[in-house]
C-alpha cells in the first residue's frame, strides 16, 4: 500500500509554547486511521498543522506533493477536508449554504448539485432542515452537517476532530456507521481524532497514540484494541 500522506518530524508551536515535538506518521490510501491521546496531547494541533493553520516545521507530503509553504486554501484544493473540533458551523448561513461552501473550490455545478443530493441521502435530517439557519441545528445535526460539508469537497483525505463530541451514544453509533460507509463508498482516506478510543478503533485499520506532542505508540487498530495493557496505560479504558 502507498501512503497518501506522509508526515515527518512535525513540530508546532503557539507563540512560544511548543506543542508538537517531532511527530512522524503515515496514512495509507483508503484507510481509516485513528489518532488517540488524552486532553492536550496535541491531536487538534496535528490536524491544524496539516492544514497549515498553526505555525510548524517538518515535512509533509500529500500524494507526492510537498505541503510546505502552501496556504490553507491551497491545501484544501488538493483535496484535504478538515472537520474542526467544535464543528465549525457557519451559524448564520442556512444548512444548504453550509453544504455549498464545502464545495467552494470545485467548479462543476451539476456535480455539486448531485453531491448535495447524495449528502441528503446519507443525512436525511439535513434535507428537512435545508433552509434553516445552521446555528439553530442541534449539536448532533451540526456534526452531521460538518461531515457532509467536508464530503462536499470530494476529498481524498478527511480529517475528523472528535466527531463524537457531545453526541448521544445512539447518534454516535449511527454517525460512525455512516463514516465507515463513506470511507468505503467514497474511497476517502480518513484520519480521525477521538476521545472515544473503542469506537475509533472499531472503524480504523491503524492507530497512533499521542502523548504531549510525541507519538508514543502505533500499530494495527485491532491489535491495540485487543491489548489490555496498552488500553489500560494509554487509553484509559
- Contact footprint for other proteins (CB under 8 A): 51, 53, 71-73, 76-77, 81-82, 84, 88-93, 97, 100-102, 104-105, 133, 135-136, 149, 153
Rounded least distance, CB 20 to Mg ion, Å: 13
Q: Which does 40 bind (CB under 5 to 8 A by kind): other proteins, Mg ion, ligand ATP, none?
A: ligand ATP
Rounded least distance, CB 88 to other proteins, Å: 4
> Which of 42-50, 91-99, 124-132, 214-222 is the region at the interface with ligand ATP (rule: CB under 6 A)?
42-50
Cβ nearer to other proteins, comparing 26 with 150: 150
Rounded least distance, CB 213 to Mg ion, Å: 13
Q: Which does 50 bind (CB under 5 to 8 A by kind): Mg ion, ligand ATP, other proteins, none?
A: none
Q: Is the dihedral of CA 51, 159, 192, 28 positive or negative?
A: negative
Residue 196 backbone dihedrals phi, psi, to 5 degrees = -80, 85
39 binds ligand ATP (CB under 6 A): yes
How far apart are alpha carbons 189 and 171 in whole angstroms?
A: 22
Cβ nearer to other proteins, comparing 56 with 149: 149
89 binds ligand ATP (CB under 6 A): no
44 binds Mg ion (CB under 5 A): yes
Query: From the list 17, 92, 107, 131, which residue makes contact with ligand ATP (rule: CB under 6 A)?
Result: 17
Grid cell of 8 as nine digits: 515527518
Query: From the list 33, 44, 143, 183, which residue makes contact with ligand ATP (rule: CB under 6 A)?
Result: 44
Q: Which does 105 bind (CB under 5 to 8 A by kind): ligand ATP, other proteins, Mg ion, none?
A: other proteins
User: Given the rule CB under 6 A, which residues bind ligand ATP?
Assistant: 14, 17, 19, 37, 39-45, 85
Amino acid at each position: 500500500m502507498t501512503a497518501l500522506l506522509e508526515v515527518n518530524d512535525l513540530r508546532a508551536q503557539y507563540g512560544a509554547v511548543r506543542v508538537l515535538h517531532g511527530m512522524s506518521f503515515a496514512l495509507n490510501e483508503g484507510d481509516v486511521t485513528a489518532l488517540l491521546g488524552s486532553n492536550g496531547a496535541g491531536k487538534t494541533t496535528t490536524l491544524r498543522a496539516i492544514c497549515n493553520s498553526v505555525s510548524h516545521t517538518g515535512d509533509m507530503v500529500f500524494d507526492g506533493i510537498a505541503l510546505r509553504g502552501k496556504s490553507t486554501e491551497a491545501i484544501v484544493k488538493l483535496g484535504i477536508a478538515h472537520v474542526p473540533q467544535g464543528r465549525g458551523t457557519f451559524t448564520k448561513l442556512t444548512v444548504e449554504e453550509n453544504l455549498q461552501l464545502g464545495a467552494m473550490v470545485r467548479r462543476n455545478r451539476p456535480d455539486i448539485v448531485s453531491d448535495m443530493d447524495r449528502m441528503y441521502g446519507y443525512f436525511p435530517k439535513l434535507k428537512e432542515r435545508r433552509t434553516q439557519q445552521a446555528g439553530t441545528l442541534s449539536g448532533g445535526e451540526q456534526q452531521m452537517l460538518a461531515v457532509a460539508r467536508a464530503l462536499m469537497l470530494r476529498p481524498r483525505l478527511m480529517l475528523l476532530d472528535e466527531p463524537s463530541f457531545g453526541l448521544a451514544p445512539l447518534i454516535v453509533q449511527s454517525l460512525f456507521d455512516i463514516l465507515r460507509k463513506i470511507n468505503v463508498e467514497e474511497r476517502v482516506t480518513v484520519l480521525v481524532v477521538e476521545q472515544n478510543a473503542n469506537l475509533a478503533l472499531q472503524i480504523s485499520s491503524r492507530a497512533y497514540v499521542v502523548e504531549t506532542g510525541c507519538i508514543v505508540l502505533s500499530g494495527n487498530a485491532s491489535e491495540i484494541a485487543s491489548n489490555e495493557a496498552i488500553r489500560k496505560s494509554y487509553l484509559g479504558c
